[in-house]
């Protein structure tokens, strides 16, 4: 769980840097009280999603940050509803901080992160299908890649 807190703080730090970048680039602030509330909600939901996914990993005696591929496919808990809760949570953290601080560059960073994560997931899905075969193919068929794809 410390990695989730590190990611939480890191995304916030990047968003603070985006505030300075916007000022240096002469970009107008997009900050708004509603944006602060929406951003805070995204950050809270993203952190919760990552924590639920981390708990599911620990229940299967797996670790979130790994140097070797996992030996088991986790399909329970939050993974029963979403194939990539760790990555979606990461994106929600970054986007939430960008929305909360109202920075153009922070929102562009969140967009870029979303594109990178989508490519990453598509590559990872090929690897998982090769490793876990029909088990992963069935899981992929019944579980959306991202939460907004229901």
Residue carrying structure tokens 């970009």: 27
Q: What is the DSSP letter of 83?
A: S
Tell me the residue ranges of DSSP E strands in the chain: none
Does residue 29 fall inside a structural domain? yes
| Tens of pLDDT, residues 25-84 | 888 888 889 999 999 999 999 999 999 998 998 888 776 666 566 778 899 999 999 999
b or e along 95-128 (b: 16 or more beta carbons within 10 Å of the residue's beta carbon)? bbbbbbbbbbbbbebbeebbeebeeebeeebeeb
Q: Is residue 135 domain-resident?
A: yes
Residue 145 has pLDDT above 80, yes or no: yes
User: Residue 69's pLDDT is what?
Assistant: 64
Please state, in angstroms and rounded to a whole number, the distance separating the CA atoms of residues 57 and 138: 20
- 27 within domain boundaries: yes
Using an 8 Å Cβ cutoff, are 110 and 88 in contact?
Answer: no
In a domain? residue 16: yes
Containing domain of residue 115, as a range? 2-144
Looking up residue 125, the CATH number of its domain turns out to be 1.20.120.1630
- Residue 149 within a domain: no
Q: What is the pLDDT of residues 99-108, one digit of tens each?
A: 999 999 889 9
Tokens (6 digits) for 100? 């909360």
150 in a structural domain = no
List the Cα angle 15/17/23 in 5-degree steps.
Answer: 110
Say if 21 falls within a structural domain.
yes
- 1 pLDDT more than 60: no
Number of folded domains that form the chain: 1
């Amino acid at each position: 769980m410390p990695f989730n807190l590190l990611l939480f703080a890191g995304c916030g730090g990047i968003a603070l840097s985006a505030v300075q970048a916007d000022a240096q680039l002469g970009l107008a602030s997009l900050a708004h009280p509603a944006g602060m509330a929406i951003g805070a909600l995204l950050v809270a939901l993203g952190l919760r999603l990552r924590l639920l996914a981390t708990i599911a990993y620990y229940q299967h005696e797996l670790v979130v940050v790994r140097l070797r591929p996992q030996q088991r496919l986790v399909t329970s808990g939050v993974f029963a509803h979403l194939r990539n809760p760790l990555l979606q949570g990461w994106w929600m953290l970054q986007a939430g901080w960008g929305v909360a601080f109202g920075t153009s560059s922070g929102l562009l960073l969140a967009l870029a992160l979303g594109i990178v994560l989508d490519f990453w997931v598509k590559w990872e899905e090929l690897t998982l299908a090769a490793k876990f075969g029909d088990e992963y193919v069935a899981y992929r068929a019944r579980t959306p890649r991202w939460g907004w794809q229901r």
